[in-house]
């Protein structure tokens, strides 16, 4: 059985004063029935990991470089994330692919390095509204999946997050049938590439305007093993109902 995962991406939000949200989350879910991952900005990872301790919340990063070290001003390596206390890293988020021109090949190189550093890699895939309207969705997702995921992947070090670009922060959400179509497609592709055992063990998350009022409907969809949550993960009061809905799914 795949253990479900509620992952929060704080993006470029948060200071030390906001880490009290981790305390509130841990108090509300002291022994959660799902895994909980919070990915704050890099400046907070060490403090967040110390704050989380051995409690129910794991801490992750939001990106890493494919090199372990070097003359790369402003970049952070996977080894640095792990050293700071991170257990995971988000890679290939649409805001990185679009805003920083990251290619799927670059995401793959980062993921390979992160997995070698014993980090769980949460690799994001997603189509634009234009691609969705052109009924090109599965072609886009298939290509991103093939090029972004390294051969070293398995059910322990790989999580796939389907995040339709047009739904991120927009308040728009695909229908359950649309989400199910993509998640079933990803599952089938993973099984074909890695075999049934590994393919069925990789967790598939949905991301894109996940909120307390739509979480239960999303979690009822085939092959949805949790969510990658943006804005609603910044406050425990908003993230907690999503976690509860996932525990009940």
Looking at residue 172, its pLDDT comes to: 77
Q: Check if the beta carbon of residue 200 is closer than 8 Å to that of residue 191.
A: yes
Nearest to 190 by CA among 228, 154, 238, 231: 154
Would you please indicate which residues are annotated as catalytic (active-site) residues?
93, 163
Question: pLDDT tier at 162 (50, 70, 90 boundaries)?
Answer: very high
Question: Which parts of 59-128 fold into alpha helices (H)?
Answer: 78-84, 94-99, 104-116
> At 228, is the pLDDT very low, low, confident or very high (cuts 50, 70, 90)?
very high
For the stretch 4-13, pLDDT in tens is 999 999 999 9
- Name every residue whose Cβ is closer than 8 Å to that of residue 7 and which is 6 or more positions away in sequence: 36, 37, 38, 39, 60, 88, 90, 122, 159, 161, 205, 226, 227, 228, 229, 233
Domains in the chain: ranges and CATH: 5-248 (3.20.20.70)
Q: What is the pLDDT of residue 193?
A: 98
H or E element at residue 219:
helix 215-219
Residue 100 CA to residue 96 CA, distance in Å, equals 5
Paired tokens of 16 = 């030390």
pLDDT at 20: 98
Which helix or strand (DSSP H or E) is residue 184 part of? helix 176-194
Flag whether pLDDT at 79 surpasses 80: yes
Tens digits of residue pLDDT in 183-202: 999 999 999 999 999 999 99
**pLDDT at position 133, please?**
84
Looking at every residue in the chain, the average pLDDT score rounds to: 96
pLDDT digits 0-9 by tens, 40-77: 999 999 999 999 999 999 999 999 999 999 999 999 99
Structure tokens at 44: 């907070």
Model-level pTM? 0.97
d(CA 119, CA 37): 12
Average pLDDT rounded to a whole number, residues 137-148:
96
* Rounded mean pLDDT, 72-89: 98
Least confident of 42-51, 89-98, 159-168, 211-220: 159-168
Both tokens of 203, joined, read 């967790």
Dump pLDDT digits (tens) for 168-179. 877 778 999 999
pLDDT of 199:
98
Nearest to 206 by CA among 2, 4, 1: 4
Is the backbone of residue 30 left (phi > 0), alpha (psi -120 to 50) or beta? alpha
Q: Is the pLDDT of residue 135 over 90?
A: no
> What does the block give as tokens for 172?
């728009």
């Amino acid at each position: 059985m795949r253990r479900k995962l509620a992952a929060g991406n704080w993006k470029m939000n948060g200071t030390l004063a906001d880490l009290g949200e981790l305390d509130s989350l841990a108090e509300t879910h002291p022994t959660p029935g799902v895994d909980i991952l919070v990915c704050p900005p890099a400046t907070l990872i060490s403090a967040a990991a110390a704050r989380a301790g051995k409690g129910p919340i794991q801490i992750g990063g939001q990106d890493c470089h494919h090199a372990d070290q070097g003359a790369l001003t402003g970049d952070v390596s996977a080894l640095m994330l792990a050293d700071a206390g991170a257990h995971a890293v988000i890679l290939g988020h649409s805001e990185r692919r679009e805003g920083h021109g990251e290619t799927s090949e670059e995401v793959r190189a980062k993921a390979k390095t992160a997995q070698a550093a014993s980090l769980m890699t949460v690799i994001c895939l997603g189509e634009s509204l234009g691609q969705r309207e052109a009924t090109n969705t599965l072609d886009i997702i298939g290509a991103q999946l093939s090029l972004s995921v390294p051969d070293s992947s398995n059910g322990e070090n790989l999580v796939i997050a389907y995040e339709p670009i047009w739904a991120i922060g927009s308040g728009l959400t695909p229908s359950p049938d649309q989400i199910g179509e993509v998640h079933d497609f990803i599952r089938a592709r993973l099984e074909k590439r890695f075999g049934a055992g590994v393919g069925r063990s990789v967790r598939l998350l949905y991301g894109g305007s996940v909120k307390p009022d739509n979480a239960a409907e999303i979690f009822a969809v085939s092959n949805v093993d949790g969510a990658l949550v943006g804005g609603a993960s910044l406050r425990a009061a908003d993230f907690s109902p999503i976690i509860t809905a996932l525990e009940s799914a």
